[in-house]
Amino acid sequence: MKVTEHLAQATETLFTIEILPPKKGEDIHTLFRHIDTLMEFKPAFIDVTYHREEHVYKEMGNGMLKKYVTRKRPGTVGICAAIQNRYHVDTIPHVICGGFSQEDTENMLIDLDFLGIHNVLVLRGDPVKTEPGFVPHPEGHCYANELIEQITGMNQGKYLYEESVSTPTDFCIGAAGYPEKHFESPNLDTDLYYLKQKVEAGAEFIVTQMFFDNRVYFNFVELCRANGINVPIIPGLKPMATLNHLTALPKYFFLDIPEDLRKEVAKCKDNKQVREVGIEWCAQQCRELKAAGVPCLHFYTMSKSEMVRRVAEQVF
């Protein structure tokens, strides 16, 4: 079932999660154990992240350089298929621009379509650590809206290198939204302009970056509607878990921590106390969002289920 169909048919706020692919060397059962503990809340769908391959070049001593892969592409397609087969829950693989040619993207989408996976979340993707900024594949896409256009074309039967119309795919396309703006945008108005481009290219729903102040989300939705962005906007949530999150989350995700939450976390003597504060804060966010009638609550689990489970126990 498509994400838009899940949202349209829901009679109450849905529970959904995002997971990370297993690290190199871990088997799929590590991931299944994480998902197992959350299945009692009947997730409507599970999305699976995709981090691009990373590499370094090392000198060989003869003036030549050799490429070494330091982070391999995860098997997102296979993981999504395994989850759907085991749990009979729809999955949403992330499809990114970075590191992919247009042909790579088409091949991935053909595999997804063959496996009956008909939802995708489209992102540009982050730059690799060895690059000062995002560098697209020479034969790939620079921006998410371009990638969305390719998928929309496949939904119309338009494939690369084929002049005639082929069997169309049937993907429901999601895009990322940034309530506190993308870090590369000069301001929120500009960010909304580009978000609208994604919707006009074919995005049918939006999933937001995590936030800790619901006013940020409500303001974002209001601005989207005022700018003609009328697709469902799914709030992304994460319980704060460590003292380090006070500085790490703003640094890596470019978001603000509300002063009330900062003060409560600052009182904690250890991470165990922080987790209790984080769970209660997130649960209160969820209660307020549910009361406002949001379509679903989407949890960034980071493949750690315990805190999300405890929040869900309070609100579902």
Tokens of 220: 């974002």
Calculate helix-pair angle for 271-291, 259-266, nearest 10 degrees: 150
Residue 207 has φ and ψ, to the nearest 5°, of -115, 130
C-alpha 227/C-alpha 162 separation (Å) is: 36
pLDDT of residue 58: 67
Given pLDDT bands bounded at 50, 70 and 90, which one contains residue 289? very high
- Judged by average pLDDT, the poorest of 71-80, 101-110, 222-231, 248-257 is 71-80
Which of 5, 12, 18, 163 is an active site residue?
A: 18
Residues 6+ positions from 169 with CB-CB distance below 8 Å: 109, 110, 113, 118, 151, 154, 155
Domain range 3-240+295-303, CATH architecture: Alpha-Beta Barrel (3.20)
Q: Which of 28, 27, 64, 44 is nearest to 296 (CA)?
A: 44
pLDDT of residue 247: 94
Given pLDDT bands bounded at 50, 70 and 90, which one contains residue 27? confident
Give the Cβ contact number of residue 1 at 10 Å.
13
Cβ proximity of 151 and 175 under 8 Å: no
Report whether pLDDT(71) > 60: no
- Cα 237 to the chain's mean position, in Å? 11
Residue-by-residue DSSP string for 24-42: TT--HHHHHHHHHTTGGG-
C-alpha 130/C-alpha 71 separation (Å) is: 12
pLDDT of residue 73: 54
Cβ proximity of 274 and 228 under 8 Å: no
> pLDDT tens digit string along 79-109?
999 999 999 999 999 999 988 899 999 999 9
- Cα 117 to the chain's mean position, in Å? 16
- Please give the helix or strand (H or E) that residue 151 lies within, else none: helix 144-155
C-alpha 50/C-alpha 93 separation (Å) is: 7
C-alpha 115/C-alpha 308 separation (Å) is: 29
Cβ proximity of 116 and 167 under 8 Å: no
* For range 106-135, the mean pLDDT: 88
> pLDDT tens digit string along 149-198?
999 999 999 999 887 778 999 999 999 999 999 888 999 999 999 999 99
* For range 106-121, the mean pLDDT: 96
pLDDT of residue 25: 66
Report whether pLDDT(64) > 90: no
Question: Is 18 one of the annotated active-site residues of the chain?
Answer: yes
pLDDT of residue 228: 97
Spell out the long-range contacts of 272-275 with Cβ–Cβ below 8 A and sequence spacing 24 or more. 274/240, 274/241, 274/242, 274/243, 274/245, 275/239, 275/241, 275/307
Tokens of 161: 């290198």
Domain ranges across the chain: 3-240+295-303
* For range 266-273, the mean pLDDT: 96
Parallel, antiparallel, or unpaired for β 54-59 and 65-71?
A: antiparallel
pLDDT of residue 296: 97
Give the Cβ contact number of residue 183 at 10 Å.
12
Calculate helix-pair angle for 144-155, 102-114, nearest 10 degrees: 50
What separation, in Å, do the N-terminal and C-terminal C-alpha atoms of the chain show?
22
